Amino acid sequence: MAGAVIKCDSVYKIFGANAKKMLQEANGNVDAKTFQKMGCIVGVNNASFEVSKGEMLVVMGLSGSGKSTLLRCISRLTDATDGKIYIEGQDLLSLKNKELIELRRNKMGMVFQSFALLPHKTVLENIAFPLQIKGIKTEDSISKAVDMVKLVGLEGRENYFPRELSGGQQQRVGIARSLAVEPDIWFLDEPFSALDPLIRKEMQDEFLRLQEKLKKTIMFITHDFDEALKLADRIAIMKDGIIEQLDTPAKIVLNPATEYVKKFTEEVPREKVLKIEDVMEKPNIENLSDLKVLKDEIIENVAEKILTQEKSVAVTDVNNKIVGTVHPSKIIHTVFGGRKNNS
Amino acid sequence: MELLKKYPKLFQWFFLLIVFFALCFAIDVPETYKFIRVQAEFIKDPNQSTYTLFGKEVRYYAFDVLWRLPPLLGWLPIWVNDSLFFLLNEWMPMEFWNEDLQEYKTRPLVLQITRNITALMTFLIELIREILLGGVKTVVAFTSWDWIDKNPWAEMPGLPWTIVAAGAVILGYKLSGKGLAIFAGLVMVYISVFGQWKPSMQTLSFILVAAPLSFIFGLTLGVMAYKSKRVEKALYPILLTMQTMPQYAVLVPAMVLFGIGDHAAVIITMVVAIPPMILLTLLGLRAVSPEVIEAGKMSGCNNWQLMTKVLIPTARRDILIGVNQVIMVCFSMAVIAAFIGAKGLGWNLLLALNQLNIGLALEAGLCISMIAILLDKMSLAWANKQEDYFGNLTFFQRYKNTLFFAVAVLIGIILSYVGSFYLKDGYNYLYEVPHNKGISTAAFWNKGVDWIWDTFFQTLKIFNTWLITEVLQPMRALYLRMPAVATVVLVVGAGYIIGGIRSALVTAGLVLFIALSPWWDRALVTTYMATFGVIASCTIGLTVGTLCQQNKYTTKFMLAVCDIFQTFPSFVYLIPVMMLFGVTDTSVLIAVIVYATIPATRYTIEGLRSVPAGLHDAASMSGVTKFQRLINIEFPIAFPHMMLGVNQTIVFALFMVIIGAFIGTEDLGQYILKALSDKAGGGKGLILGICVAFIALIFDNLIRTWVQKRKKHLGID
């Protein structure tokens, strides 16, 4: 893809004394167990993918699956053991320290699980920090920080210290800080995992609102499959350092590639995830009911209407052009069929 | 047998004690043995044996090897001394430009370096001293004495005390607010009114050089140790020894290298103050969460920015404790360094103590303590300061502190000028209250001491005699009765049981060093005094700490008391005990107990506080009484932390025992004090200091290893 902002080409990250040598000997065929016997731990195993401009890739995996390590390779907080990483066509691993700092100062922002705010600085100073590091004047950086405070809705708390804020508020500061330099690429490392469920939902909605407005290229790490489904354009599911499947949420739910992925998808309420277009069939003009539904509708929202019909329902795009049909039985099958105790 | 299977360690301890006592009883005291009261080194005794190693003749009293090991390391102090001498006077002679003679002269490298350091330190101290007190030496440094003679006007005018006091008040206000301002004002007025201005400013000038330098060096080295494992590994053993080395002991070798005077005092203070600074910096930097570091990197910090803007500020809490320690050590050293000629309050304090003028000593001691507390609070406030970006300040508001200070300077100058007219015949009190011309309460205190002596003489005397004859003497005799071999077996065995082979080897090395030095008997006496102090301190600390911990307010109060007591320079503790008990061992021991009770109490409270609240609730729901909870839940969990307190107590007690040499003891400390006035004392002082440090390190190693195992066992960290 020409417009790929982030591109990974068989990236490996192996922790251990002579990881590099062992990797060469293994010739790309890395087996976590044999490596572990030799005293090496495999963090990321042959990861290749691209993220295009304005896309949100969610990397999902349980703890120890290597998802955070992958993110740190791409932000070069750790150096990948092998492989190529390109940021907007630039070879990340060949960058000199100065160039890397320049890249981080202008193109990258990152949000952390435990917020990672500087305890000695106020909300405002924390947000202004990356700007001041860049060498921007105090006045300008503070006025920019004030804008960011408004963006994340923390007005009135500018002079609070992180310890005086709730978890949700702290993460808002973290988000504001990561956005202060107006980066193109936005890394989020389990940003909402440390928050209470209700706050988490609120923050997810807030996050979607922000992304709607800002259209950043995003890599988002989570261990929560529901969160991944809710936010992602595409999801990469990782296990033991390997990307098991990388696809759109709908395709992952409908066609889990491995047994491991299937375990996650089984419990997912499909009607809440899938859109009509995900289940529609080829347009068949004959024998349609009078009802028409938009292809972008979530199944849950139109299921009741469709199920009252006996014949297939026409699916249209925004221009009212029929692009497919869906039969009520298909809806029933999607929602209730294919589950463990039914099959 | 069941019991032994359940507690295998118990059996090991039991066995060790049996071996120890068996050895004690099996090895008889040699008939020729007596505790040598005079320094064997200075008297040639026909009973002494000699041996020669590396060309050094070592004299010693020979005993059965089982009773006392021969001083095989006896050549070490002499050798160290000779090496120092060689380094200083013969090694690497080089040509150096001599400013005074205007020609190149040959000088050994080390001598030149130490002379340069000396010159720099002296200049810094004089500069600050003359800003505060006035003088000509700073001007001389840039010109010459001849020039000064020709230009009598060229003199640094000292600041009138009113200006310094106003400066302190404004600084206190700016840093923290009214409270600190009032306190600063009170301290300054007290110093001035009581005629301690000059010595106080001398001490202050010494500290204003020593503390910042120690801070900078300590921080830099700490950062280096954080960045490089190799530096850390190289520094660690030195730091550990330095932390347990009594401050006296450093005086001697430093005196050899740098001579005597304020500059040597600054250097010694730095040597003592830097290690805790390094350790605390390292500790703080290690504790910074990796995510914060990553956040800094992702914000585009380069290495320098990451260190100065992210790591160090985030580790601020520990680094501040380091600053605090540095200030404490500086004040503590301000007194001890008076032994090698540092001027100021410490000098006055020593002089007063020497003359047994308790009242005068008390005044000087109070001054030091008050300045110490003031600087401590100021440094804390400074580090916690916050900037306000929104205040829409007018010019006046923004610079009001500077303006006020300018006004104060003006008023101060006018006042002292006016004063010079009105107080013509006497002293210009508005410029500086001269020493001994202020109000002195010394007479009052001395009368008080006399009264105490008159009234309680019998009681005190009876107590004193009882303590010495019934407790101290027998205890000392017991310690001296231990054959060297039995002691070594006991220590190494304890090391093995607690920490396995590794600990056994470490403790063996430490104890053998002491046993093979010529001062084993002295080390035993030091240990006996420290043991007595530690037992008493721990009993008091544990009781007081536990009682205070039962209530939130008493806890807070006690911690505050500990804070204040910790700020007192260690020497100050000798004053009240000398008031009560005169010049006896009891005085030293009471001072030891008071001083060492601070960490015992603090750690007890902290340990009990660290017991998780969940456990409290769980225990309460099981229906325990308060006492049961304390015994069954809180003590076992808090015990590891409390043991660290015991560790600190041992170090504190040893420090005080050594300082007690000033009153007159017969232990290692006395020898260190003697080495101070000995021409070839450098090596001796150092080795003696290392002996004391090693006593502390033996306990340190045992306790730390045990605590680590216990913590792992309890699953707390």
Residue pair B532/B589 in contact (Cβ under 8 Å)? The answer is yes
The confidence score (pLDDT) of residue A57 equals 94
Distance CA B316, CA B308 (A): 11
- Say whether both A59 and A122 belong to one domain: yes
Q: In the predicted model, is pLDDT for residue A170 greater than 70?
A: yes
Distance from CA of A23 to the nearest CA of B (A): 27
For chain B, percent of residues with pLDDT exceeding 70: 90
Domains of chain B: 1-30+484-516 (no CATH), 162-385+405-454 (1.10.3720.10), 521-714 (1.10.3720.10)
User: Would you put residue B383 in left (φ > 0), alpha (ψ -120 to 50) or beta?
Assistant: alpha
Q: In the predicted model, is pLDDT for residue B505 greater than 90?
A: yes
Q: Please tell me the total count of domains within chain A.
A: 2
Distance from CA of B505 to the nearest CA of A (A): 30
- Say whether both A239 and A319 belong to one domain: no
Read off the DSSP letter of residue B87.
Answer: H
Residue pair B633/B611 in contact (Cβ under 8 Å)? The answer is yes
Which of A240, A270, A300 is a domain's end point?
A270
Q: Which of B289, B293, B299, B305 to mutate to test the interface with A (most CBs of A within 10 A)?
A: B299
Q: Which of A112, A114, A120, A161 to mutate to test the interface with B (most CBs of B within 10 A)?
A: A120
- Say whether both A126 and A240 belong to one domain: yes
Q: Which of B342, B363, B359 is nearest to B193 (CA)?
A: B363
Interface touch A133/B299, C-beta < 8 Å: yes
Does residue A241 fall inside a structural domain?
A: yes
Which of A270, A297, A319 is a domain's end point?
A270
Instruction: Report which of residues A338 and A222 the model is more confident about.
Output: A222
Tell whether B316 lies on the interface with A, counting CB pairs under 8 A: yes
Residue pair A294/A270 in contact (Cβ under 8 Å)? The answer is no
Contacts of A122 in chain B (CB under 8 A): 386
- Say whether both A278 and A261 belong to one domain: no
Given the DSSP bridges, would you call strands A4-15 and A90-91 parallel, antiparallel or unpaired?
Answer: unpaired
Out of A133, A142, A187, name the one closest to residue B389 (CB): A142
- Say whether both A312 and A225 belong to one domain: no
Distance CA B684, CA A117 (A): 52
* DSSP 3-state percent helix, strand, coil across chain A (nearest 5): 40, 25, 35
Where residue B538 falls among pLDDT bands split at 50, 70, 90?
A: very high
Q: In the predicted model, is pLDDT for residue B305 greater than 80?
A: yes
CATH code of the domain covering residue A291: 3.90.1280.20
Q: Which of B293, B298, B319 to mutate to test the interface with A (most CBs of A within 10 A)?
A: B298
Does residue A28 fall inside a structural domain?
A: no
Where residue B397 falls among pLDDT bands split at 50, 70, 90?
A: low
User: Would you put residue B664 in left (φ > 0), alpha (ψ -120 to 50) or beta?
Assistant: left
- Say whether both A231 and A293 belong to one domain: no
Residue pair B188/B208 in contact (Cβ under 8 Å)? The answer is no
Q: Which residues of B169-186 are buried (b: 16+ CB within 10 A; e: fewer)?
A: bbbbbbbbeeebbebbbe
Instruction: Report which of residues B702 and A290 the model is more confident about.
Output: B702
Distance from CA of A221 to the nearest CA of B (A): 15
Distance from CA of B301 to the nearest CA of A (A): 6
Contacts of B295 in chain A (CB under 8 A): 110, 112, 116-118, 174, 177
Which of A235, A270, A305 is a domain's end point?
A270
**Mean pLDDT (whole number) for A302-331:** 83
Contacts of A113 in chain B (CB under 8 A): 291
Q: In the predicted model, is pLDDT for residue B688 greater than 80?
A: yes
Interface touch A130/B300, C-beta < 8 Å: yes
Q: In the predicted model, is pLDDT for residue A59 greater than 50?
A: yes
Query: B49 has which bridge partners?
Result: B60
Kindly provide the residue ranges of all beta strands, DSSP E only, lying in chain A, ordered along the sequence. 4-15, 41-52, 56-60, 82-87, 90-91, 108-111, 185-189, 217-222, 234-239, 242-247, 288-294, 312-316, 322-326
Q: Rounded to an integer, what is the distance from CA B569 to the centroid of its chain?
A: 8
Q: In the predicted model, is pLDDT for residue A1 greater than 60?
A: no
Distance CA B639, CA B645 (A): 10
Mean pLDDT of chain B: 83
User: Would you put residue A119 in left (φ > 0), alpha (ψ -120 to 50) or beta?
Assistant: alpha
Tell whether B295 lies on the interface with A, counting CB pairs under 8 A: yes
Q: Which residue bears the tokens 């200091």?
A: B689
Structure tokens at B577: 């005990």
Q: In the predicted model, is pLDDT for residue B387 greater than 60?
A: no
Read off the DSSP letter of residue A163.
Answer: G
Interface touch B299/A104, C-beta < 8 Å: yes
Distance CA B128, CA B208 (A): 8
Interface touch B309/A133, C-beta < 8 Å: yes
Given the DSSP bridges, would you call strands A217-222 and A185-189 parallel, antiparallel or unpaired?
Answer: parallel
pLDDT in tens, B168-219: 888 888 888 888 899 999 998 888 888 888 888 888 888 889 999 999 999 9
Interface touch A130/B299, C-beta < 8 Å: yes
Where residue B717 falls among pLDDT bands split at 50, 70, 90?
A: low
Q: In the predicted model, is pLDDT for residue B398 greater than 70?
A: no
- Say whether both A288 and A243 belong to one domain: no
For chain B, percent of residues with pLDDT exceeding 90: 13
Tell whether B300 lies on the interface with A, counting CB pairs under 8 A: yes
Query: B52 has which bridge partners?
Result: B57
Q: Which residues of A266-301 are buried (b: 16+ CB within 10 A; e: fewer)?
A: eebebbebbbbbbbbeeeeeeebbeeebbbebebee
Q: How far is CA B507 from CA B275, B560, B658, B695, B705, in A?
A: 22, 36, 22, 10, 12
Instruction: Report which of residues B577 and B63 the model is more confident about.
Output: B577
**Mean pLDDT (whole number) for A260-267:** 86
Where residue A342 falls among pLDDT bands split at 50, 70, 90?
A: very low
Residue contacts between A and B (CB atoms, under 8 Å): 72
- Residue A252 lies in domain: 50-82+95-270
Where residue A343 falls among pLDDT bands split at 50, 70, 90?
A: very low
Helices then strands (H, E): number in chain B? Answer: 32, 4
- Least confident among A55-59, A230-234, B24-28: B24-28
CATH code of the domain covering residue A206: 3.40.50.300
Reduced to 3 states, what is the DSSP secondary structure of residue B74?
Answer: coil
pTM recorded for the entire structure: 0.81
Q: In the predicted model, is pLDDT for residue B308 greater than 60?
A: yes
**Mean pLDDT (whole number) for A46-57:** 91
Burial class (CB in 10 A: 0-12, 13-18, 19+), B611: buried
Does residue A195 fall inside a structural domain?
A: yes
The confidence score (pLDDT) of residue A49 equals 92
Q: In the predicted model, is pLDDT for residue A56 greater than 80?
A: yes
Out of B295, B305, B390, name the one closest to residue A112 (CB): B295
Q: Which residue bears the tokens 């720099």?
A: B120
Tell whether B310 lies on the interface with A, counting CB pairs under 8 A: yes
Instruction: Report which of residues A117 and B2 the model is more confident about.
Output: A117
Interface touch B301/A133, C-beta < 8 Å: yes
